[in-house]
Structure 1
Amino acid sequence: MKSLSRHFTLAVLLGSMAFAVQAQEFKAGFVNTDRLFREANTAKAAQAKLEQEFSKREKELVDQGNSLKAASEKFEREAPTMAESQRNTRQRQLVEQDRDFQRKRREFQEDLNSRKNEELAQVLDRANKVVKQVAEAEKYDVILQEAVYINPKYDITDKVLKALNAATK
């Protein structure tokens, strides 16, 4: 009976030692994708590309909005002295112009969001490839991209940024 107890204790001890050794070999890392989207050269290039692509339309929308606002203010000032039929006609025109402006603004925002998602997907794809390269080179078992809390010692975002920026030069 004593021998069985010793064997059991020895087995538990060896098992816990094996688990401790395995736990030490497990290597985890974390990558902050928000930082990648802000700091990576590819992300900055994508942002510049989007700004260039959409700046003309945005300026046209701002100009149209300012023009509509000026026309509306002018109407408010002149409305009391206008004939009712003229006031109704001008009010319908302003409503129609506002509707057109709102539609164009909505289309602009949808187009911008769609292009931004396309560009961010490309940046994320490149970043994921670099993350995989870093993980394989440094023998990580798992790399997380989202977590409620992460100890800063597991954050490999700087390594990934350095590798990602070096790959784009």
Structure 2
Amino acid sequence: MYELLCRSSERPWAPQPEKLVALPDRGASKPLILHMQENRSHLTQEARVCFSVIALLFVATSIGPALHGHWLVPAFSILAMAGLTFALERHCKSRPASETLELAEGRVRHRDSAGQQIELPSFWMRLATEDRSPSDLRLFLRGRDGSIEFGRCLSLEERRAVAPLVAAALAQTRRC
């Protein structure tokens, strides 16, 4: 998921940017802040059904060997389901990946949840996309001083929606 934010020209020092639509349009360029975060919604009904079917298959395939005295098969099935449940719980409790891309004052700033920060001048930057397959899209801001890959935590549809927004904001930043 992504959110468009903006620092007000009257309050550029504000720690929390405001929503882009909340700012009045004064004709001046608005610095764009694109906050992107991995979607961590709860399991859908289909995913819960799939998880239940996997558990049922583990139980069903371990009944026959258990009746013949092979007790390691049901023990393995129980450990496998416990491992899957533990992995799902750990994933839900971990912090989702996030990125922030800021296009303002002739600069491009990119921060990710790992703590890496890149700042480059926007004058030579251009938006580049890599379509390796119909289900894979990578977004880059490339310039002579370096390259920034952004949108890694977004879904394919969100990357397609964000690309024209970033291109327009980059063009506006270059004009300033």
Query: What TM-score, normalized by structure 1, do the two folds share?
Result: 0.29
Considering only CA atoms, is the larger Rg found in Structure 1 or Structure 2? 1
More strand by share: 2
Q: TM-score, normalised by structure 2?
A: 0.28
